[in-house]
Amino acid sequence: MCWINNTRRLLKTLACSVLSFCAVSQTPKLVVWITVDQMRYEMLHRYKHRWTTNGIKRFTDSGFVFNNAHYNYVPTYTGPGHASLFTGTTPRVHGIVGNHWYSRSKAKMVYCTNDTVLKNQPSPQHLQSSTIGDELRLSNSNNSKVIAVSLKDRSAIFPAGRHGNAAYWFDEHHMQFITSTWYMQSLPKWVNTFNKNLNIYDRVKKGWKPYYALSTYTASTPDTMSFEASPTGSARAVFPYEYLKTDAPGTWIKGSPQGNALVTDFAMEAINAEALGTDSYCDLLSISYSSTDIIGHATGPRSVETEDTYIRLNIEFEKLFSFLDARIGAEHYMVILSADHGAAEVPKFLIDQNIPAGLLTDDNVLQHLKRYCQIHFKDSTLVEHVCNHNIYLKSEVSSNVPKIQLINSLRFALTQLQGIAQVFNADEIIQATGADGSSIMQIHNGFMPEHSGDLVYTLKPQWMDHESKGTTHGSGYNYDTHVPLLFVGFGISKGHSFEHVNITQIASTLAELLHICKPSGCTALH
């Protein structure tokens, strides 16, 4: 293998930074794209003492690390994150503007994988761009296989794309992996066999105890904190977490590191059963780990539960690398590690440290605006809905209330709320130009007139729409946008870069390595 000269790693493109093009006819046999749900970049360093040689250290010691990779839009949620990673563009183009959004025509919320034709069968219907996997299959008459697995449907469906072979996710009610008729009419035999042998009760009855002595968890806050909720549904957020017969096992396993182990086991079985990486056509496997997000939402990014989850995730990486080395050969596959978004600190934790933070829910905003409209316009129905910091006005505004007057009045009303940072109207957002990291351009990149609101507001740093315990994500601030981006394996030179890059550049770079077309909506050059 001919390696790229390290002096080239500071060039503008990801491709020139990480890839060797010495043998242009060569491609990896398998690309494994790992997405960790809710992983902040700083966790790579905060938990550095926990990483092992064949776990995350394999990325940092042998691969290429982008230290300054960011999302360039809002809202930074799971659905938009996975769609953006694999399409190489932002919600403005690929259409997934949130996990949910408000439909004016239906006067109700729409889930991002909802399919109006398949009826109760999730699908990529709303995805308006091809993915890197779609393009890979189109490049060779569908000889490449593209498979995605996760605990969440949206975290499997958007990576699989519209033309992938399969998207599999875990149904917590039936306690098995399922798919959608978008991809196939019935589950393959190997999936049915895997489900039959899952033994969920045997997995959960082991409970969840810290991997090491709690006294060694020095990168975290103490175990018992009043602002933490239990990710498993237990009465208290404290170790050890013991499974009770009254608990729902499917829900319990997703809220513990065992959920991630379940995904690894399924992914390795998929590699075996589908013979991924064993012929002359490159295959793509997407693995999205969701338990990190479920645990992070409940306990926050500095809890011992979160630290323990990453300790155990590192072990999952060890298991996966060892399996791939034996099955495919270390020189024949590439692994990408990324995240769909970061996470904010728990507001109560910051307030205790005398750092500004707070809570302002969409419902708080809606009720405030309804009261304002009743007082000033004698009509509390002028604001129809608020979600994802988008404000949707009633389609038919009375003639005695000019829409521009209403919009300007509501903007003023919003600025009176504690926690509001900025407010923009739809015309300003659509016509916006400027620096990619500015608030209005982040909103512009995540805005679609048919799905988005008449007004969009941002919150001040560390303010969020959430409950009093735990945390969330969704903002355009660094704690939500700055995520890990690491490559290792076939064609990857060892190194690192501190240049600012956007996560939408990954799919474009991968397309160059695989010598295929970029996704149809791709807006990133590299």
Q: Residue 55 corresponds to which tokens in the numbers above?
A: 């776990």
Closest to 261 measured CA to CA, from 149, 145, 336: 149
Q: Are 323 and 271 in contact (CB under 8 A)?
A: yes
* Chain mean position to CA 6: 31
* C-beta of residue 163 within 8 angstroms of C-beta of residue 137: yes
What is the phi/psi pair of residue 494, to 5°? -70, 135
Listed in sequence order, the residues at least 6 apart from 427 whose beta carbon sits closer than 8 Å to its beta carbon are none
DSSP character at residue 212:
S
Q: Which of 39, 40, 38, 60 is nearest to 49 (CA)?
A: 60
Q: Say whether 78 is catalytic.
A: yes
Report CA-CA distances (Å) from 209 to 199, 249, 451: 19, 17, 44
Q: List the one residue out of 37, 42, 44, 117 whose CA is nearest residue 79.
A: 37
**Rg from Cα positions in the chain:** 23
CA distance 87 to 212: 39
**Three-state DSSP class for residue 373:** helix
Which one-letter amino acid corresponds to residue 18? Answer: V
Which residues lie below 8 Å from residue 284, measured CB to CB, with a gap of 6+?
30, 31, 33, 132, 133, 136, 144, 145, 146, 147
Alpha-carbon distance 301 to 295, whole Å? Answer: 9
* Alpha-carbon torsion, ordered 426, 127, 169, 111, to 10 deg: 40
Contacts 24+ apart (CB under 8 A), 404-411: 406/377, 406/382, 407/454, 407/455, 409/372, 409/376, 409/377, 410/369, 410/372, 410/373, 410/383, 410/455, 411/455
Query: How far is Cα of residue 503 from the mean position of the Cα atoms in its chain?
Result: 11
* Active-site hit among 27, 60, 76, 78: 78
- Please identify every residue annotated as catalytic: 78
